[in-house]
Amino acid sequence: MKKTLMRFALLSFIILSAGCSSSEYFHIKPVRPVDELITEALKSSPPAETGEFRENELTEIVKLDSTVRLDIRYATENNFLSTPLYSQPRAFLQKPAAEALIRVQKKLKSRGFGIMIHDAYRPWYVTKVFWEATPADLHNFVADPSRGSKHNRGCAVDLTLINLKTGKPVPMPSLYDEMSGRAYADYTGGTETERANRDLLRSAMEEEGFAVYEFEWWHYDYKDWQLYKIQNVKFEEIK
């Protein structure tokens, strides 16, 4: 399956330039026009959920620690759909997850690194757009809106490491949002440095209750995600 995904990515999709630096982006050709999908998704409703859930406490991460860097790709054209999906470049998590992430940031600082966030809480309608825009062959890399995403619950974060001396992201085995086998959390290719950087991020996140998603080295889910409901509130509506 890994070989199939890698061939598909190379033949059917566009990666700007050849390496994996932060100035390069992975793009696909959407199955349908994104504008149409956004309009449809905004008219749709998240799946109904029953049971007891914790109170929603979406917390803006940089308000807890202003040294956390943001590169919110979905507020720009520099993402796999080549169009903005968010109206504001902000990052939120449920409060316990946000506090855990700040502990990760503090631990990494002692080793000369920091975190850069690409995405965190994601309104449900955006998850629906991602699913409908992405070819079925690559649905491992997007969440099924009929079940919702851990991003929708405010308990998932997409991030990478930065070198505090240079202020730049460190090399990783793949681009962010790259839909290929290179993005797998246990991918054995790439350079020793890329794998070491990826594994450092993973160990730091796991120490604070986050688990990596097997198909994306940058995606981490917080341990209590199932205790929160799917949210569909836009960023500008969060106080």
64/67 Cα distance (integer angstroms): 9
15/26 Cα distance (integer angstroms): 5
What size, in residues, is the chain? 239
The whole-number mean pLDDT for each consecutive block of 10 residues of the chain, a chain of 239 residues, reads 42 39 77 96 95 95 97 96 96 98 97 98 98 94 95 98 97 96 97 98 98 97 96 94
| CA 201, 228, 66, 215 torsion-angle sign | positive
Q: pLDDT value at position 144?
A: 96
Q: pLDDT value at position 191?
A: 97
Residue 239 structure tokens: 């106080």
Q: Exposed, middle or buried: residue 20 (CB in 10 Å: 0-12, 13-18, 19+)? A: buried
Residue 110, φ and ψ in degrees, nearest 5: -65, -15
CATH numbers and ranges of domains, the chain: 2-47+57-237 (3.30.1380.10)
Q: pLDDT value at position 24?
A: 81
Q: pLDDT value at position 87?
A: 93
Residue of 124, 113, 164 whose CA lies nearest to 41: 124
7/201 Cα distance (integer angstroms): 27
How big, in percent rounded to 5, are the helix, strand and coil portions of the chain? Answer: 35, 15, 50
Q: pLDDT value at position 27?
A: 92
Q: pLDDT value at position 177?
A: 94
Q: pLDDT value at position 208?
A: 98
Residue 28 structure tokens: 């696909």
74/118 Cα distance (integer angstroms): 8
Taking a C-beta distance cutoff of 8 angstroms, is the pair 209, 222 a contact? yes
CA dihedral 218, 222, 227, 233 (to 10 degrees): -50
Q: pLDDT value at position 239?
A: 81
DSSP 3-state of 50: coil
| CA 97, 99, 103, 108 torsion-angle sign | positive
